[in-house]
């Protein structure tokens, strides 16, 4: 999707220093809710603050959650719940630099991180070397046809469950070994009632989870697909 497809009058600013600019109409007032969000209602938007990170070489060329090929040199990002093709201004609160990126993937699923950028976007924000930074997200444009008045709700996602441990350290160790062996597949530890489930995903589509499940079974890794809500 090109910037012009996001809206006839929308021209994103892909880099630079300073405060947020009014790239959309003055009466554009999206609802930006969901767990972990911090509302700061202004003239145009509500905002989210948290930790930003980036992902690069290990995922370059791999399929993103919306089916595109991940390009570490592009200006895209992963977010847990924002609709695909949403344009977001990301501001590094430590130096004031900001960029506009398009959401085309899901994640990050680590601690309090709220967005995963490409390597190029992280470099423009000045945190590629350190890995993370405190950032502010401002929705610039939702995708065409999205009803922002309904607010944001977590997607009903699915995961591929691989193993269950009583010991969290063992679960994390197993997750790391899987991530090292299958670099193109995201893995996480999903805590549930005193046990720690190692899963692949989450995925928006059951078909996508099914493909990963079949691939893992072909490698001798027993698993099953189940629902997931973080």
Q: What is the pLDDT of residue 147?
A: 72
Whether residues 90 and 201 share a domain: the answer is no
Q: What is the mean pLDDT of residues 50-65?
A: 87
| Domain's final residue, options 150, 168, 193 | 150
Pair 109, 135 in one domain: yes
What is the average pLDDT score of the chain? 78
Percent of the chain with pLDDT over 90: 43
CB distance 162 to 221 below 8 Å: yes
Rounded distance, CA 72 to CA 10, Å?
24
Q: Given this model, what pLDDT does residue 146 score?
A: 75
Residue among 83, 86, 93, 75 nearest 139 (CA): 86
Question: Against a cut of 0.85, is the pTM above it?
Answer: no
Residue 33: the pLDDT is 36
Sheet holding 224-228, edge to edge: 187-192, 195-203, 157-165, 224-228
Same domain, 138 and 166: no
Which pLDDT does position 43 carry in this prediction?
Answer: 32
């Amino acid at each position: 999707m090109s910037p012009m497809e996001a809206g006839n009058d929308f021209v994103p600013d892909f880099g630079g220093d300073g405060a947020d600019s009014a790239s959309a109409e003055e009466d554009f007032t999206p609802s930006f809710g969901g767990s972990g969000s911090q509302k700061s209602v202004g003239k145009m938007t509500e905002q989210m603050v948290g930790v930003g990170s980036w992902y690069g070489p290990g995922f370059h060329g791999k399929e993103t959650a919306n089916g595109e090929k991940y390009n570490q040199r592009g200006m895209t990002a992963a977010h847990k719940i924002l609709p695909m093709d949403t344009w977001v201004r990301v501001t590094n609160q430590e130096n004031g630099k900001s960029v506009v990126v398009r959401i085309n993937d899901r994640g990050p699923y680590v601690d309090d991180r709220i967005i995963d950028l490409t390597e190029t976007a992280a470099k423009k924000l000045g945190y590629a070397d350190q890995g993370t930074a405190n950032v502010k997200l401002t929705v610039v444009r939702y995708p065409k046809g999205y009803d922002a008045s309904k607010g944001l709700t977590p997607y009903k996602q699915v995961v591929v469950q691989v193993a269950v441990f009583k010991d969290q350290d063992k679960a994390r160790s197993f997750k790391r070994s899987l991530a090292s062996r299958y670099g193109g597949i995201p893995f996480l530890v999903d805590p549930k009632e005193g046990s720690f489930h190692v899963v692949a995903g989450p995925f928006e589509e059951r078909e996508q989870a099914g493909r990963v499940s079949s691939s893992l079974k072909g490698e001798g890794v027993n698993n099953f697909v189940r629902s997931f809500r973080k």
